[in-house]
A and B are shown apart, each in its own frame.
Chain A
Amino acid sequence: MERIPILKMGPFLLVTIQVDLYDRLALNLENDLITMVSKTGARGVLIDISAVSIVDSFMGRILGNIASMSRIMDAETVVVGMQPAVAITLVELGLTLQGVHTALDVEKGMDLLHDKIGPDQLQEQDEEEGPDDRTE
């Protein structure tokens, strides 16, 4: 079955959507991503939609779902590369992608993710360095 590849890059997961998604593919992606977040302990998810020409309410809902599910799993989601025509259409459609962070391109999205999880990670490292023998 067709699948959208998910790449792991440090503490982040990277997804580039290159095709127009049909529903099954989108639902699979949602599933795969959340599984990967749980498996890898990723702290951020970056979704590149620069090749997606149509985002309808279903697709919007999937993006929103991924963001809320990831948040519960302690990961932030950033959607990057939205085409201007898609943004215009989304707002007229009435879909504002609340709760989903956005950035103009992959680079800015990565920066945003780093900013979001930066302080936390430093804290974690401090804790690890400390005399702590808890096993999680």
Chain B
Amino acid sequence: MQIVREQDVVLFRNRVREYSTKIGMNLVNQTKLITAASELVRNMLKYADGGQVIIEIISNNARNGVKLTFIDQGPGIADVPQAMQDGFSTGKSLGLGLPGAKRLVNEFEIQSKPGEGTRVSVTHWKHGR
């Protein structure tokens, strides 16, 4: 799914809700995943003028989960460990986006190089573990 406008955030969140409902994720876990997704998609819009998100349902040893991959061609992140710290932001936000999103989901991966964009993938399992 392409993300180019801020209205896409709401559409995207609804899409994530559909997928997590489909695998029977409970409301608290859904809310965590969607909130994390919302943070990440907002980052993508703000810093990279949008990008692409892939929504997948994945299974691992009879566990079902939703995996989201955020890919942008933005400026990239110079210092990833720094960006993962609470309260750090190059914009004027609270600096909770990346570290907060990481706390909300089960698996979190980030790859970024300056000038080459950023790729973040998050996975949340049906039962939240």
Residues of A that sit less than 8 Å from B by CB: 20, 22-24, 53-58, 60-61, 83-86, 88-89, 92-95
Contact = CB atoms under 8 A, between A and B. Distances in A.
Contacts of A54: 13, 31, 34-35, 38
Contact of A56 (B7, B27, B42, B99): B42
B100 to A, nearest CB: 4
B31 A22 contact: no
A85 B9 CA distance: 20
Interface string B19-42: 000000001101110110011001
B96 A57 contact: yes
Interface residues of B, number: 25
A61 B94 contact: yes
**Secondary structure type dominating chain A contacts:** helix
B10 interface: yes
Contacts of A86: 31
Contacts of B96: 57, 93-95
Nearest to B8: A22
A22 B10 contact: yes
Given A57-B97, A85-B31, A92 B104 contact: yes
Contacts of B6: 22-24
B9 A93 contact: no
A22 B3 CA distance: 13
B100 A95 contact: yes
Interface in B62-117: 86, 93-94, 96-97, 99-101, 103-104
B10 A57 contact: no
Contacts of B28: 84-85, 88-89
Given A20-B10, A57-B94, A94-B99, A85 B30 contact: yes
B41 to A, nearest CB: 9
Contacts of A85: 27-28, 30-32
A92 B31 CA distance: 11
B104 to A, nearest CB: 6
Contacts of B38: 54, 56, 58
Contact of A92 (B13, B97, B103): B103
A20 B16 CA distance: 14
Nearest to B11: A22
Contacts of B39: 56-57, 93
